[in-house]
Amino acid sequence: MSVFLPFFISGCTSKAGIDTNSSRRGAVVLNRIAVVPFQIVIPEEASVKTVRCPLSGTIFRTCKSSEGAEKLVEKVFFRKLKDSKQFILIPADRVGGVYRRISIDSLKATPLEILRKVGTELGADGVVAGYVYRYREREGYPYFAEKPASVAFGIYLIRVSDGTLVWRGVFDRTQRSLLENILQASSFFKYGGRWITAEELSEMGIDEVLKNFPDLQ
Tell me the whole-structure pTM to 2 decimals: 0.83
What is the pLDDT, as a whole number, of residue 122? 98
pLDDT confidence of residue 9 = 37
Exposed/middle/buried for 44, CB within 10 Å: 0-12, 13-18, 19+?
exposed
Measured torsion, CA atoms of residues 107, 112, 113, 119, in degrees rounded to the nearest 10: 110
Q: What is the mean pLDDT of residues 191-210?
A: 87
**pLDDT (0 to 100) of residue 131:** 97
**pLDDT value at residue 26:** 54
pLDDT band for 8, please (50, 70, 90 cuts): very low
Whether residue 63 has pLDDT greater than 60: yes
Average pLDDT, the chain: 83
Question: What do you get for the CA distance between the two ends of the chain, in Å?
Answer: 40
Which pLDDT tens digit goes with each residue over 40-54?
998 888 788 899 999
Among the ranges 16-25, 116-125, 187-196, which has the highest mean pLDDT value? 116-125
pLDDT of 3: 35
CB 126 within 8 A of CB 163: no
| Residue ranges of domains in the chain | 7-210
Burial letters for 95-127: b for 16+ Cβ neighbours within 10 Å, e otherwise?
beebbeebbeeeeeeebbebbbbbbeebebbbb
Q: Considering the chain, what percentage of its residues have pLDDT values greater than 70?
A: 77
Q: Indicate the SS3 state at residue 28.
A: coil
CA distance 119 to 146: 44
Q: Whose CA is closest to 110, among 154, 165, 147, 61?
A: 165
3.50.50.60, 3.40.718.10, 3.40.50.10610, 2.40.50.140: which CATH number matches 7-210? 3.40.50.10610
